[in-house]
Amino acid sequence: MQVQTQNLSLSPRLQLVEGLCMAVEQRGLAAARIADIVRHARVSKRTFYEHFRDKASCFVEAYRELARQTMEQIAASVDVSAPWQQQIEAALGAYFAALDARPKLTRAFFLEIHVAGAGAISLRREVLERFADLTMRFVTLARKQKPELRPLTPLMATAIVGGEHPGEVFADRSTKSHRHLGNA
């Protein structure tokens, strides 16, 4: 999970996203400051505020960008003509490699996201839904090779990609209310 910003000819916005990632890896999300972000990005605070309202909005953009890159890496790793078991191994290998590339950042995205507020939590749900959709597409392709495989429902796909957050898995998407396991 590396924001592709090593090339300084990239936009200041992406430099700031990478600056945030570096600051979070160094200090954690809660302790990272705008000064840390701009120091890593090698831009001014003025440039920061031209692109982002606050640290939380920069974090949301970083989360969005890294999720996009991770999904692209997973999709690119899968040879749909390979046996379905190899497809699963390739997808999981790409996913775990992306997470392992920047473990402190991965930790922040999984465990500290609530610090960034409601927008970040909403984006996390959207990303989980996109990962669930990608998972369902892989299962659909695998079923073409092996029709006796059970189809994957949207609920089960969401449980697979977001199972560590049961409240999100059992959320009623139409009303945005949560059904806790005890009330299900």
Q: Which residues pair with 178 in a beta bridge?
A: 171
Residue 67: predicted pLDDT: 92
Domains located in the chain, CATH noted: 12-183 (1.10.357.10)
Residue 7: predicted pLDDT: 46
Which residue numbers in the chain have pLDDT < 50? 1-2, 4-7, 164-184
pTM: 0.78
Residue 171: predicted pLDDT: 47
Question: Any residues with CB less than 8 A from the CB of 9 and at least 6 apart, and which?
Answer: none
Residue 59 CA to residue 3 CA, distance in Å, equals 12
Residue 9: predicted pLDDT: 63
166 exposed, middle or buried (CB, 10 Å; 0-12, 13-18, 19+)?
middle
Phi-psi bin for 42: left (phi > 0), alpha (psi -120 to 50), beta? Answer: left
Structure tokens at 106: 């991965």
Cβ–Cβ under 8 Å, residues 102 and 162 = no
Residue 53 CA to residue 171 CA, distance in Å, equals 29
Residue 3: predicted pLDDT: 53
Residue 27: predicted pLDDT: 94
- Angle at which helices 34-41 and 12-27 pack, to 10 degrees? 120
Residue 117: predicted pLDDT: 84
